[in-house]
Amino acid sequence: MSEFIDLAPEVAEAFASGAPVVALESTIISHGMPYPQNLETAQAVEQDVRDNGAIPATIAVIGGRCKIGLSPAELEYFAKGSDILKLSRRDIPYAIAKKCDGATTVSATMILAEKAGIKVFATGGIGGVHRELATSFDISADLTELGKTSVAVVCAGAKAILDIPMTLEHLETLGVPVIAYGTDEFPAFYTVKSGQKAPLRLDTPGEIAAFLASKWEFGLEGGVVIGNPPPADKALALEAIEHAIDSALVEAKGLNIHGRDVTPFLLQRVTQHTKGKSLEANIALVRNNARLGAQIAVAMAK
Ligand code: PSU
Ligand code: MN
């Protein structure tokens, strides 16, 4: 393993025995949800992975060391901490050199997962092309990472705070397969439907495992987006979320929020505007993705 990476004992054991492992990100804990729901979710998600036959590896940087798998106390630290950096690809060398603590986004988690040899990663939603691209030029580093790093990202699609059609166009340009799981439509995180048909559809974890094997065994490097619709009983209706998103976007503009602060700000405001309903949906969908991620990792290990 690289001199920068520490494996949690359980993850090292899983590698040694060939047991399936699922990577989990930490930005969703430190910057994506409020305490204590973030801690409860992080713990539940790890348990969901275990219940479906795989070992969870939550990824973060602590004191400049890249951690693949966190202890319960470390998980709690990332849920409570207020001085934790949000790390995408560009920030990793800074966090290492300055011995910082940082939570990893989808892009940084993919990088560390790949370096550790983990092929499946479950999260809530990926970053994407933001609305009003022409003036913000805000495209998440997650998309570029998906273009080159060979990890499958199980998510509930992209949030409607983003421009979903443009996000799908950009993923096509980058050569990233986008698969909807058990449905024709690309999900929009809080909502089951986005109005956009997904480019590809697969219906079982086994089919997804076979798809991933074909891509990577043929040498086609890069990530894969697996869009898993949010559980119907917790998903929101488009009308319930549209107004919250529009208000949050207006507020972000008024407060001149930009760069890495945009997504955490929008998530927090949407939670307030929906009186916690969006947070409930968020928790349910991350857990749903962890279950599917584990099932895919198990199918790949066969
Ligand atoms: N989706 C969520 N919660 C989150 C994020 C996405 O439901 O916290 C985080 C992920 O870590 C993702 C990041 O990689 O937001 C994208 O941030 P940006 O838009 O700044 O690239
Ligand atoms: Mn951005």
Domains: count for the chain: 1
User: What is the SS3 assignment for 99?
Assistant: coil
**Residue 38: both structure tokens together:** 């973030």
Residues 260-299: b if buried by 16+ CB within 10 A, e if exposed = bebbbbbbbbbbebbeebbbbbbbbbbbbbbbbbbbbbbb
| The pLDDT of residue 235 | 96
**Residue 143: both structure tokens together:** 């998309």
Contact 290, 13 (CB under 8 A): no
Identify the residue whose C-alpha is closest to ligand 1 atom 5: 28
Give the separation between CA 214 and CA 251, rounded to whole angstroms. Answer: 45
**Residue 219: both structure tokens together:** 């040498």
Residues 20-31: b if buried by 16+ CB within 10 A, e if exposed = bbbbbbbbbbbb
Beta strand pairing call for 120-122 and 102-104: unpaired
**Among the options 25, 46, 145, 185, which is catalytic?**
25
**Cα 30 to Cα 85, 116, 293, distances in angstroms:** 9, 22, 21
| Per-residue tens of pLDDT for the chain, all 302 residues | 689 999 999 999 999 999 999 999 999 999 999 999 999 999 999 999 999 999 999 999 999 999 999 999 999 999 999 899 999 999 999 999 999 999 999 999 999 999 999 999 999 999 999 998 988 899 999 999 999 999 999 999 998 889 999 999 999 999 999 999 999 999 999 999 999 999 999 999 999 999 999 999 999 999 999 999 999 999 999 888 999 999 999 999 999 999 999 999 999 999 999 999 999 999 999 999 999 999 999 999 99
Quickly count: other Cβ atoms within 10 Å of residue 223's Cβ: 28
Give the separation between CA 17 and CA 9, rounded to whole angstroms. Answer: 12
| Residue 262 alpha carbon to ligand 2 centre in Å | 7
Quickly count: other Cβ atoms within 10 Å of residue 97's Cβ: 9
| The pLDDT of residue 1 | 66
Distance of CA 4 to the CA centre of its chain: 22
Host domain of residue 210: 5-301
Give the separation between CA 38 and CA 94, rounded to whole angstroms. Answer: 26
| Residue 260 alpha carbon to ligand 1 centre in Å | 9
Q: Is the CB of 125 under 6 A from ligand 1?
A: yes
pTM of the predicted model as reported, rounded to 2 decimal places: 0.97
159 is catalytic: yes
Q: Is the CB of 114 under 6 A from ligand 1?
A: no
3 is catalytic: no
**Residue 121: both structure tokens together:** 């990663």
| The pLDDT of residue 91 | 98
Give the separation between CA 161 and CA 202, rounded to whole angstroms. Answer: 26
Q: Which residue has the tokens 């990100």?
A: 25
Please, where are the H alpha helices in the chain? 9-17, 27-30, 37-51, 72-80, 92-97, 106-116, 133-136, 141-148, 164-173, 205-217, 238-254, 262-273, 277-301
CATH number, domain containing residue 114: 3.40.1790.10
| Residue 16 alpha carbon to ligand 1 centre in Å | 32
**Residue 137: both structure tokens together:** 């030029």
